[in-house]
């Protein structure tokens, strides 16, 4: 399960056996939510936050942080998805600081 980003205790990651649509999971303590990045005809359409079956979802403050990360890093997430799931390239984790999310 490659970890993509860390930010203020949030861990953003892929699970190794993932499926379409492109999405990332966010864990904070024992809570978890996911964000689907939706494209239609090759054009970005929206980000949809969803609950993860069997997990308590992130609280509203951390959901906002998670959404901000996905909005800011959307293209990077898509690139990493393709690298990992299509080309089998190992993904390096990054620490995000507050200045990167303005």
- List, for residues 27-39, the tens digit of each pLDDT value: 999 999 999 999 9
pLDDT of residue 102: 67
pLDDT of residue 95: 96
Buried b (16+ CB within 10 A) or exposed e, 68-93: ebbeebbeebeebbeebbeeeeeeee
Mean pLDDT of 82-98: 93
Q: What is the pTM for the complete model shown?
A: 0.94
Domain range list for the chain: 3-90
């Amino acid at each position: 399960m490659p970890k993509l980003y860390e930010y203020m205790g949030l861990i953003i990651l892929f699970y190794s056996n993932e499926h379409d649509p492109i999405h990332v999971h966010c864990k904070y303590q024992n809570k978890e939510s996911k964000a689907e990045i939706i494209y239609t005809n090759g054009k970005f359409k929206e980000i949809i936050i969803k609950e993860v079956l069997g997990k308590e979802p992130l609280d509203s403050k951390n959901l906002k942080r998670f959404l901000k990360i996905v909005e800011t890093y959307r293209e990077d997430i898509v690139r990493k998805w393709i690298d990992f799931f299509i080309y089998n390239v190992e993904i390096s984790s990054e620490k995000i600081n507050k200045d990167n999310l303005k």
